[in-house]
Amino acid sequence: MALLTYDDVTISLDGGRKRRANLTKARIRWVIAALVLVFAVVSGRLIQLGATVSDSAIEGVARDVITATRPTLLDRNGLEMAVDIRVPSLFAEPRRIVDVEEAVAKLRTVLPDLDEDWLRKRLTGDKGFVWVKRELTPAIKEKIFQLGVPGLDFVTESKRFYPSGQEAAHILGAVNIDNQGTMGIEKHMDDEDLALLQSVGLARGNALKPVDLAIDLRVQHVLYEQLVDSLSRYKAIAAAGVMMDVQTGEILALASLPDFDPNDPSTLFMDYNGVKNQRFNRITSGIYELGSTFKTVTMAGALDSGRVKITDQYDARFGVRFGRFTIDDFHGKHRVLSVPEIYKYSSNIGTIKVMQQMGKDEFRSFLSRIGFDKSVPFELPEMRQPKVPAKFSEIVAATSSFGHGLSISPLHMVRAVAAFVNDGKMVPPTLYKRSPEEARKLYDPVISSQTSQQVRYLMRLNALEGSGSRMNKYANGYRAGGKTGTAEKVVGKTYSANKTLAVFSSAFPLDNPRYAMVILVDEPQNENPQSGHTAGWNAGEITGRIVQRVAPMLGISPDFSEVLDTELVPAALR
């Protein structure tokens, strides 16, 4: 039997160590290789996911747009006029739906108004996203969740809500199902401001600051309420009104009836008394022959030309002939009339002669100076071009002097009246808040301060002694003044004495003018057997009731002192 020597043992131990070392190194290499492989797979997957373009749109509309919010609209006192509320909307991923028939049956238990065939087609196919029902309630969302149908999901989007309902419909406008403005100030914001904000992602969440409008909801409510009352009181087919701050151009109230519910924009297209397309904004996109309210314009232009003086007198005994036509007065005095009497008695004869003294070409030029032959710069997109002949013949100039033969919007008239009482300085109207300092930079002098003072006197005189006296009965103490206009409407190719447009243009308080207003009543009837249907009986009375209620809200105190009216009389007439 052989014995192991020390050297043999040493060699054996060294060999075992080498084998274990080699085995350990091999294991480490395999572990490293495995880790490298794992990291390679993970990295490859990450690269794949990073390169994959996710579907960020639903039926062609980007999710950012769908979920974007609109700014809250506030009135001048901070009251909410339009807000966004967050609502769930249901969409489907047809490629993930296992059983279309089961999905259709279950969905219709919660949403029975969905057409079965439409829904079946909607849920069939390999599309990634399709709308099923938008703007649901949280309760409906929970019921659909309980159905457990795969391939259905929700996205939270914004829905526009108008707390005041129809009262400011034509100011605010409306939005579509994607919360994009389609009309009114909502569309203006999209066209001018919101689109840019959305493009840089600032419209998500609550990033947008509230927008302050010039509207005073208190005044808006009174105006709207009185116009609604006029439809029943005078059996009118339509009515409209607008009030403007004469110094800043801010629109405090604007309404037009018939209107629509901005919370349900489809009401815009509903018939009104069996007639289509009647729910338009009559203040901005309606153009009319505004009748004798135009005499304020004629007087302002004539007096400012220097060719007519407030002390002048004109022979109004006989009608004015143009060929075989004779223009006469409705209730003629048939005597010599002073300029204030022509205005107070609303004499067509006298107004024509005042215009002729001014000159028809200069009269036409004055209409351009006050912007009557082009659209008024304004935020609302619903505008219509006025119809004013480029050149006046003798007969066209004559009829235009008392408001026939040319058509403008009530917005044109309220802006002009505001300028006439604001020392002759015209300012563009606006629906946004504007400071007096900002407004003064925009002033455009159209008549002199002296002419403005004379026009204020004429307007107040008409309230005290003329066709505005019924208005003054209601607005007594608030020194309001204005001019009536009862224009016969064109039916076919002739004027109809039975269908008229009644208008009252006004301003108050005339001792320190603050606000101008135009009220329009379409085809008014007698309120009772003792009343009439001319503008003083309806548009005039509406104006008086509005002034009576809103003047105290606007910080105007009643003052019954006759001294205030005396101070309005021009020095030449005292």
Using one digit for the tens of pLDDT, what is the confidence trace for 138-165?
A: 999 999 989 988 889 988 888 899 999 9
| Residue 4: predicted pLDDT | 52
| Residue 275: predicted pLDDT | 81
- Measure CA 537 to chain center: 29
Percent of the chain with pLDDT over 70: 89
Among the listed residues 125, 95, 122, the one whose alpha carbon sits nearest the alpha carbon of residue 107: 122
CA-CA-CA-CA torsion sign (511, 224, 297, 184): positive
CATH C-level class of 219-573: alpha beta
Q: What is the CA radius of gyration of the chain?
A: 37
Residue 196, pLDDT above cutoff 50: no
Distance CA 69, CA 157 (A): 8
Catalytic annotation present for 292:
yes
CATH number of 61-212: 3.90.1310.10
| Residue 341: predicted pLDDT | 97
For residue 140, the tally of other CB atoms under 10 A from its CB is 14
Strand partners, 488: 500
Among the listed residues 221, 216, 259, the one whose alpha carbon sits nearest the alpha carbon of residue 240: 259
Structure token digits, residue 459:
């307007």
What average pLDDT does the chain have? 89
Structure token digits, residue 158:
């914004």
| Residue 195: predicted pLDDT | 52
Query: Is residue 212 a contact partner of residue 76, using CB atoms and an 8 Å limit?
Result: yes
Q: What is the mean pLDDT of residues 169-177?
A: 93
SS3 530: coil
Residue 204, pLDDT above cutoff 60: no
Q: What is the mean pLDDT of residues 302-331?
A: 93
- Full DSSP string of 148-216: --TTEEEEEEEEEE-TTGGGGHHHH-EE-TTS-EEEHHHHHHIIIIIHHHHHTTTTSTT-SPPEEBS--
| Residue 48: predicted pLDDT | 57
3-state secondary structure 491-503: ECCEEEEEEEEEE
| Residue 528: predicted pLDDT | 92
SS3 130: strand
> Which residue ranges does the chain devote to CATH 3.90.1310.10?
61-212
What pTM does this model have? Answer: 0.84
Catalytic one of 164, 285, 292, 407: 292
| Residue 51: predicted pLDDT | 55
Residue 56, pLDDT above cutoff 70: no
Among the listed residues 222, 186, 229, 176, the one whose alpha carbon sits nearest the alpha carbon of residue 66: 176
SS3 47: helix
Distance CA 262, CA 187 (A): 13
Confidence of residue 201 (pLDDT cuts 50, 70, 90): very low
Distance CA 292, CA 350 (A): 12
Range from 177-186, 260-269, 272-281, 384-393 carrying the lowest mean pLDDT? 272-281
CA-CA-CA-CA torsion sign (210, 213, 216, 220): negative
**328 class by beta-carbon count within 10 Å (0-12 exposed, 13-18 middle, 19+ buried):** middle
Distance CA 214, CA 426 (A): 18
φ, ψ for residue 105, nearest 5 deg = -60, -45
> Which residue ranges does the chain devote to CATH 3.40.710.10?
219-573
**137 class by beta-carbon count within 10 Å (0-12 exposed, 13-18 middle, 19+ buried):** exposed
Using one digit for the tens of pLDDT, what is the confidence trace for 511-528?
A: 999 999 999 999 999 999
